[in-house]
Structure 1
């Protein structure tokens, strides 16, 4: 194995990251580029789990705001994550990566049902595990699902791939003077209300001492560099007085 700082990781991918330049759906070229980045580290023996969102297909919270029952909308969003997981599995297997999809909602005809011990065993055997359907419960985001799965599989860190190169003190898209953090504590993220992950996910990582690394997935080799401990994006960790 190459000299990596982390050996077992949970990668959180937003559904929007799969759209490419489109307004919705899945971009095949994006899937191909992502598969190549994953293969770089998979070939070096990294154990990898992935949680994928569904916002490129259906966003439950948005539809709930438009009058749909929130629980019903969230279940529809969970099904969207399963579609994305199957698309990722196809792309990864075309790249020669052995992959399993595990869903928090039972659907045996198309994927395995999530069982923690089985997921860990898959990773130990060199398979990438894609966790679909969030936590299986409405009112919880896929960010919270990612934090939960990272803790359950005893990951060394949680990596969040976004379209922004880290965490800023304000929205860098609308504020040219926004300042990026190289490192920040969970407490400061929560106090400032920074939109890294939702507060439930951040608090869960804080309670379980799970580092979070936020980076721009569109940069070449960025996943490998982040795993190697290179100064990529922003790292969320504990301050000494939080320990």
Structure 2
């Protein structure tokens, strides 16, 4: 079979990845080769002409819920988690720009010396100019996850899908790493995700996607070329709703 230029399924997408995805085999922090590998994946899709937004979690540096569980006041813990997402966004920006991809980090918490404040129309203009927009600091509010932030920003930016990069190649009825008989869904409804607690995203994010008919594509970020392949109708993934 000859290699053909992939057919673009979506013109503007949100890529949501966890902070843990950036730490490679380390127990915490950032693993520069892993950050660079993900940047290359993003570039390969951007080179197709797809406009890309990103939201990166902060769990590799600090997770608000864990801090709260250890006695820290929840609001403070969540703000610390938001700052961790800014650090990850800056690392991804540096990796992308090192390979020629113009990038803007846009924070829900103003910190003008390191990134732009969130202004919706300005962010849309960046996307139209084929810059990758990395939205940092969540929604700017405690008690909301980066999954919810990704779904919110995807709707605001008129994205056509949220791509959720994970360690596995889709949504399963049970943990495939623990159960050999786990079955992967090709498609699953928003309500089924909520009823069966399938762990795609938190309930607020799923409900927000459902209310706006925004599909969520769950795929393996560890699969080389996986992000690009899905846009051509190839690859393995689960589509939620849409």
Q: What TM bracket, shorter-length normalisation? A: over 0.9
By how many angstroms is 1:230 displaced?
2.3
Equivalent residue number for residue 67 of structure 1: 71
For residues 12-91 of structure 1, the aligned pairs below 5 Å read 12-91=16-95
Alpha-carbon distance between aligned partners in 2 of 1:232 and 1:115, rounded to the nearest angstrom: 35
Equivalent residue number for residue 200 of structure 1: 204
Is the contact between residue 54 and residue 134 of structure 2 (CA under 8 Å) also seen in structure 1? yes
Equivalent residue number for residue 241 of structure 1: none
Alpha-carbon distance between aligned partners in 1 of 2:212 and 2:234, rounded to the nearest angstrom: 23
Residue aligned with 1:76, SS: helix
Structure 1 unaligned blocks of 5 or more? 239-243
Q: Deviations over 1:143-183 (max 9, x none)?
A: 00001011000001000001111111112222222111111
Aligned residues: 238
Equivalent residue number for residue 181 of structure 2: 177
Is the contact between residue 8 and residue 157 of structure 1 (CA under 8 Å) also seen in structure 2? yes
Question: Match for 2:145 among 129, 141, 148?
Answer: 141
Is the contact between residue 182 and residue 231 of structure 1 (CA under 8 Å) also seen in structure 2? no
Q: What is the Cα-based RMSD across aligned positions, in Å?
A: 1.1
By how many angstroms is 1:2 displaced?
5.0
Structure 2 unaligned blocks of 5 or more? none
For residues 59-138 of structure 1, the aligned pairs below 5 Å read 59-138=63-142
Alpha-carbon distance between aligned partners in 1 of 2:180 and 2:69, rounded to the nearest angstrom: 30
Residue aligned with 2:201, SS: coil
1:3 aligned onto 2:21: no
Alpha-carbon distance between aligned partners in 2 of 1:135 and 1:230, rounded to the nearest angstrom: 33
By how many angstroms is 1:39 displaced?
1.1
Residue aligned with 2:53, SS: strand
Alpha-carbon distance between aligned partners in 1 of 2:92 and 2:239, rounded to the nearest angstrom: 26
Q: Please give the TM-score of this superposition, normalised by the length of structure 2.
A: 0.96
